[in-house]
Amino acid sequence: MTSTRRTVLAATAFAATLALSPAFAQAPIEIELFFPVPVDGQLARDMTTMVKEFNEKHPAIKATPVYTGSYDETLIKTRAAMKAGKPPAAVIMSANFLLDLKIEGEIQKLDDLIKTDGKTNDAFMGQFFKALHGNAVLDRSVYGVPFHNSTPLLYVNADHFREAGLDPDKLPTNWEELAAAAKKLTKREGDRVTRWGVMAPSNYDYGGWILQALTHSNGGQWFNPEFGGEVYYDTPSMLGALTFWSDLVAKHKVHPAGVQAGGAVSSAFLAGQASMMLLSTGSLTHIRTNAKFPYKVAFVPRNVRNEVPIGGASLVIPTGVEDARKKAAWTLITWMTNPEKSGWWSRATGYLAPNMAAYDLPEMKAFIEKNPDAGIAVKQLDVAKPWFATYKTVTVRKAIEDELQAVLSGKKQPKEALVAAQKNADEIMKPFVEQTALKLPTN
């Protein structure tokens, strides 16, 4: 054998050794997943567990979960990362932000990824509850994959009900019954309230969602689901909803005045300082784990009808994520939303599993049999409607939440508050309305 041939063979063998060596193997594609923690509980720890399992099962991808605060903060941080040219590959985004993100060109259609998987958009979305489609499919294109979802629920302390002479097996079904029960449940020592009959969160983001639930329950609508430039703040149905909430505070004195944060509401309930609360399905596991008393949940009480808004989040891919990172993000998204993981996340957090097949799994059936409160949340999906979504969703929402907080603090009356909210919201949406207005030719 010539020396030249020996050299070639040695070089070939060395190259083969390098290719097989872990040190020279192709590095995994690195992606970031931005995720919020909008409710009580150990959601951040559960997310770390989920992503760790994903990485173990997908060695060609290394996903890093990045906690980004509330839903609003997640939106701000995602936009900042995009502006800096470093968009995260995937984001768990509040489902009602998708329309605004689409209008601004900040999220990608997922149609091509779905098509590559050999599915139509209808077939892909068919695995998720129909009530969730309105906050995921826009102009017939899929922009978000439902990840965890919620509706508001009525939580009650069963011991308090019995103590007040109420039947915990017959929970309030309408506003009149809710107010009557709250009066019996409220406790006072002189002028000091030691136990509130009912509480609901009114902080930013949460407050608008609860007010939308009351508005729907009063037969109204919050926004035009077909057009991103129209809300119905100054309407009789919303006036009735805001007046009812205000009356619980100022007239019946069974609900604390001022702004109540979601965490403070759940803490008061767990401490026995509130007998009932309106709070997210997403808090179920936190309440189940920490309540030292028997509790029950029910649909949000109605005035005209049983109807509530969807809440929760969808997985999206921001604009600017391309090629390998986009495919890796899609692998992560489809894995996180398959029936098995969807069910696991629901059991861990309390959120609804968007993938309907999750509820056919033996472990999910056993879980709901043991925890019927989770089953109530699923049943309420039958009367759920899309979450409010407009151009500039956050500022349009805050226009009403500022007024809600003023009313609950005793600074404004409901009617004047709604007139102001409508005026402010219309002004915020004016550029979009004008942009989309039909331009008729002049003679």
In this predicted structure, the answer to whether residue 11 has a pLDDT above a threshold of 70 is no
Q: Which residue has the tokens 């993938």?
A: 355
SS3 136: coil
pLDDT averaged over the chain? Answer: 93
Give the pLDDT mean for 12-33: 63
- Helix H or strand E encompassing 142: strand 141-142
138 located within any domain: yes
* 160/241 Cα distance (integer angstroms): 26
The answer to whether residues 372 and 404 belong to one domain is no
Please, are residues 265 and 199 in contact by the beta-carbon 8 Å criterion? Answer: yes
In this predicted structure, the answer to whether residue 25 has a pLDDT above a threshold of 80 is no
Per-residue pLDDT, 245 = 98
The answer to whether residues 183 and 302 belong to one domain is yes
Indicate if the alpha-carbon torsion angle 57, 58, 64, 67 is positive or negative: negative
The answer to whether residues 28 and 62 belong to one domain is yes
Mark which of 344, 362, 385 sits at the end of a domain.
Answer: 385
Mark which of 357, 385, 413 sits at the end of a domain.
Answer: 385
Per-residue pLDDT, 432 = 96
The answer to whether residues 78 and 183 belong to one domain is no
In this predicted structure, the answer to whether residue 41 has a pLDDT above a threshold of 70 is no
Residue ranges of alpha helices (H) inside 337-392 are: 339-349, 362-370, 372-380
When mean pLDDT is compared across 10-14, 67-71, 252-256, 404-408, the lowest value belongs to 10-14
pLDDT digits (tens, 9 = 90+) for 249-291: 999 999 999 999 999 999 999 999 999 999 999 999 999 999 9
125 located within any domain: yes
Give the pLDDT mean for 385-411: 97
Per-residue pLDDT, 10 = 45
The answer to whether residues 279 and 412 belong to one domain is yes
The answer to whether residues 259 and 378 belong to one domain is no
374 located within any domain: yes
18 located within any domain: no
Percent of the chain with pLDDT over 70: 92
The answer to whether residues 58 and 110 belong to one domain is yes
Rounded (5°) CA angle 123-314-329 = 80
142 Cβ neighbours under 8 A, 6+ residues apart: 109, 110, 111, 114, 121, 124, 125, 136
Per-residue pLDDT, 13 = 45
The one-letter amino acid at 225: P
The one-letter amino acid at 409: S
139 Cβ neighbours under 8 A, 6+ residues apart: 102
In this predicted structure, the answer to whether residue 27 has a pLDDT above a threshold of 50 is yes
Q: Which residue has the tokens 């604390």?
A: 256
Whole-model pTM over 0.85? yes
Per-residue pLDDT, 221 = 96
The answer to whether residues 424 and 410 belong to one domain is yes
The answer to whether residues 156 and 143 belong to one domain is no
104 located within any domain: yes
Q: Which residue has the tokens 């007046």?
A: 243
The answer to whether residues 80 and 135 belong to one domain is yes
The answer to whether residues 125 and 38 belong to one domain is yes
If pLDDT is split at 50, 70 and 90, which confidence band does 437 have? confident
- What is the number of structural domains in the chain? 2
Please, are residues 383 and 306 in contact by the beta-carbon 8 Å criterion? Answer: yes
136 Cβ neighbours under 8 A, 6+ residues apart: 95, 98, 125, 128, 142, 143, 144, 145, 146, 314
* 46/42 Cα distance (integer angstroms): 6
336 located within any domain: yes
- Extract the tokens encoding 289: 């784990």
Please, are residues 154 and 172 in contact by the beta-carbon 8 Å criterion? Answer: yes
CATH of the domain at 293: 3.40.190.10
The answer to whether residues 209 and 282 belong to one domain is yes
In this predicted structure, the answer to whether residue 162 has a pLDDT above a threshold of 80 is yes
Please, are residues 180 and 254 in contact by the beta-carbon 8 Å criterion? Answer: no
pLDDT digits (tens, 9 = 90+) for 133-154: 999 999 999 999 999 999 999 9
- What domain range includes position 197? 152-310+391-436
The upper half-sphere exposure of residue 72, i.e. CA atoms within 13 Å in the direction of its Cβ, equals: 12
3 located within any domain: no
* 113/142 Cα distance (integer angstroms): 10
Closest C-alpha among 314, 319, 282, 360 to residue 125: 314
7 located within any domain: no
